[in-house]
Amino acid sequence: MASNGSSKTVFLAFSVNFFIAGVKTVIAVITSSSAMFSEAVHSYVDSGNQFILWFGIKQSKKPNKLIYPLGRGKEEYFWTLVVAVLIFTIGGLVSLEHGIEALSHPKELKNLFISIVVLSMSIVLELYVLYKAVKELRSKSKTDTTSVFKLLKESTDGPLIAIVVEDFAATLGLGIALVGSILANVTSNPVYDAASSILIGILLMVSGLFLGYEMKHLITGETVNTKTKDKIYNTIEQNDMIKNVESLKIISIGANKYLVLCTLDYLDTAQDSDVVNVNSELKNKIFRDFEEITEIYFNPA
């Protein structure tokens, strides 16, 4: 399940984005800026998305062994997939449509200096949230990976992945809006502002597609990283009562939670009591050495 760290990161992102959304809305009305309008929509969508992520985290923690014998950890992935759809549609398509409309029917922009100041402050706030989210992502990594992209691919924490993707898109989107506002202010040409809105829309659509693609892997049961799988394989194979490990399948069942399905060929001399003892010994060792493994099932070959 998602850790306390993920919940705190989601709440921090929600607080920052909701505050920024309100400020952007006021500035968009004052300046008639389509880029600022797109950014306001972006922040409102992000705020709503973070509430959905928080809801998903809470739902995934509810125990109900009768209906969900392996827990409700994967429910986080469903709600994160909903967030990906919202980023693509409400965030991306609305911004794209508004930018195209502004490009087709340019309006006079006013008080762009205020937009530039607000966008600059927003970038600082979003960078702080992004820093906290990436820091949390790195703290959960079991490998020495330094690339944030690889960390996102390896992580099984759906809400945390969403926050990193959202805030990266938010920071980059703010940068695009800032450049567009500066150019529009210097040249008095609203085309730059409209183009910024279109680029922000495309950025959000790409972000939504990436997040949806990652959730598809986790929903369908992505395996653990190769390094961890090899260590678990060696732990099992080294037991004196195991002749051969016929198959080892490790499947994600939630944030930092994995299910192990293993088929073993025991020594021909092994009695039923020996098999029970070996299975118990292996389970205890794996649970102790690999905290992300929460369920283990051994089957005889």
Render pLDDT for 114-152 as a digit per residue (tens, 0 to 9): 888 888 988 998 899 999 889 888 887 766 667 888 888
Query: Over the stretch 230-285, which tens digit does the pLDDT of each residue have?
Result: 999 999 999 989 999 999 999 999 888 999 999 999 998 888 898 999 999 999 99
Claim to verify: residue 158 and residue 233 sit in the same structural domain = no
CATH number reported for the structural domain that contains residue 188 in this entry: 1.20.1510.10
> Given phi > 0 = left and psi -120 to 50 = alpha, else beta, which region is 54?
alpha
Claim to verify: residue 197 and residue 240 sit in the same structural domain = no
Burial of 268 (0-12, 13-18, 19+ CB in 10 A): exposed
N-terminal to C-terminal alpha carbon distance within the chain: 32
State the total domains in the chain: 2
Beta bridge partner(s), residue 244:
265
Claim to verify: residue 138 and residue 279 sit in the same structural domain = no
Spatial CA neighbour of 266 closest among 276, 254, 251, 255: 276
CATH number reported for the structural domain that contains residue 240 in this entry: 3.30.70.1350
Claim to verify: residue 259 and residue 176 sit in the same structural domain = no
Beta bridge partner(s), residue 254:
257
Query: What pLDDT is attached to residue 1?
Result: 39
Claim to verify: residue 248 and residue 171 sit in the same structural domain = no
The number of CA neighbours under 13 Å toward the Cβ of 204 is: 31
Distance CA 143, CA 155 (A): 11
Claim to verify: residue 75 and residue 96 sit in the same structural domain = yes
Query: Over the stretch 278-294, which tens digit does the pLDDT of each residue have?
Result: 999 999 999 999 999 99
Residue ending a domain, choose from 199, 219, 239: 219
Claim to verify: residue 111 and residue 189 sit in the same structural domain = yes
Helix (H) or strand (E) holding 167: helix 158-187
Claim to verify: residue 174 and residue 242 sit in the same structural domain = no
Spatial CA neighbour of 160 closest among 43, 79, 225, 96: 79
Residue ending a domain, choose from 191, 219, 247: 219
Inter-residue contact 145 to 134 (CB < 8 Å): no
Claim to verify: residue 248 and residue 266 sit in the same structural domain = yes
Token pair 């997939």 is found at: 81
Claim to verify: residue 197 and residue 230 sit in the same structural domain = no
**Over the chain, what is the mean pLDDT?**
88
State the DSSP code for 284. H
Claim to verify: residue 85 and residue 211 sit in the same structural domain = yes
Claim to verify: residue 118 and residue 231 sit in the same structural domain = no
Token pair 């399940």 is found at: 1
Domain hosting residue 261, numbered range:
226-300
